[in-house]
Structure 1
Amino acid sequence: MRMRHKPWADDFLKENDHIVVQEPFEHKGKWKDLFKKDQPIHIEIGSGKGQFIAGMASLHPEINFIGIELAKSVIVTAVQKVMDAEVDNVCMVNVDAKDLREMFADNEIDHIYLNFSDPWPKSRHEKRRLTFHTFLEQYEAVLKQDGKVTLKTDNRGLFEYSLVSFSAYGMQLEEVALDLHGLEDPMNVTTEYEEKFAAKGQPIYRCKASFRG
Structure 2
Amino acid sequence: MRLRNKPGAQEKLDSYPQYIIANPVEHKGKWHEVFNNDNPIHIEVGTGKGQFLVGMAKQNPHINYIGIELYKSVIVSALDKLIEEDLPNLCLLNVDARELEEFFAKGDVSQVYLNFSDPWPKVRHAKRRLTYKAFLQSYENILIDNGEIHFKTDNQGLFEYSLTSFSEYGLLLKYISLDLHNSDFEGNVMTEYEEKFSKKGQRIYRCEVKYR
State if a TM-score over 0.5 links the two structures.
yes
| Alignment gaps of 5+ in structure 2 | none
Match in the other structure for 2:13:
13
SS at match of 1:99: helix
Opposite residue 21 of structure 2, the aligned amino acid is V
Q: How far off its partner does 1:86 sit?
A: 2.6
Whole-Å Cα distance in 2 between the matches of residues 99 and 73 of structure 1? 20
User: 1:164-198 CA deviation, whole Å, 9 max, x = no partner?
Assistant: 11011110000110001112533110000000000
Give secondary structure in 2 for the equivalent of 1:161.
helix
The residue aligned with 2:169 is 169
Return the letter of the residue paired with 1:56: M
1:178-197 equivalences in 2 (<5 Å)? 178-197=178-197
Give structure 1 stretches of 5+ with no counterpart: none
Aligned-pair identity (%): 55
Range with greater deviation from structure 2 (60-69 or 34-43):
34-43
Which residue matches 1:64? Answer: 64
1:34 aligns with 2:4: no
Compare 102-111 and 77-86 and name the one that shifted more. 77-86
How many residues are treated as equivalent by the alignment? 212
Counterpart CA distance in 1 for 2:120 and 2:133 is 15
Distance across 1 between alignment mates of 2:18 and 2:143: 25
Question: For residues 8 and 32 of structure 2, what CA distance do their matches in structure 1 show?
Answer: 30
The equivalences for 1:38-117 within 5 A come to 38-117=38-117
Choose 129-138 or 182-191, whichever is displaced more.
182-191
Equivalent position amino acid for 1:15 in 2 = S
| CA distance 1:198–1:184, change in 2 (3 Å) | farther
The structural deviation recorded for 1:141 is 1.1
Q: Over residues 137-179 of structure 1, what are the superposed CA-to-partner deviations in whole Å (9 max), with x where a residue is unaligned?
A: 1111111112100110000000000001101111000011000
Residue 49 of structure 1, CA deviation: 0.4
- 2:149 corresponds to: 149
Q: Distance in 2 between matches of 1:36 and 1:30?
A: 10
SS of 2:73's equivalent?
helix
Aligned mates of 2:127, 2:6 — CA distance in 1: 30
Q: 107-116 or 25-34, which moves further after superposition?
A: 25-34
Q: In 2, are the aligned partners of 1:36 and 1:89 still within 8 Å (CA)?
A: no
- State the Cα RMSD in Å: 1.2
Counterpart of 1:64 in structure 2: which amino acid?
N
Partners of 1:76 and 1:123 in 2: CA distance = 32
In structure 2, C-alpha distance between the alignment counterparts of 1:6 and 1:53, rounded to whole Å? 22
Q: Distance in 2 between matches of 1:143 and 1:173?
A: 17
Render the CA deviation track for 1:36-80: whole Å, top value 9, x for unaligned.
322000000001000001000000000000000011111011011
Q: Is the 8 A contact 1:66 1:92 kept in 2?
A: yes
Tell me the secondary structure at the aligned position of residue 97 of structure 2. Answer: coil
Partner of 2:123: 123
Tell me the CA shift for residue 119 of structure 1. 0.5
Scaled by the length of structure 1, the TM-score of the pair is 0.96
Q: Distance in 2 between matches of 1:44 and 1:89?
A: 14
Residue 27 of structure 1 and its aligned partner are, at CA, apart by 1.3
| Bigger Cα displacement from structure 2, 202-211 vs 83-92 | 83-92
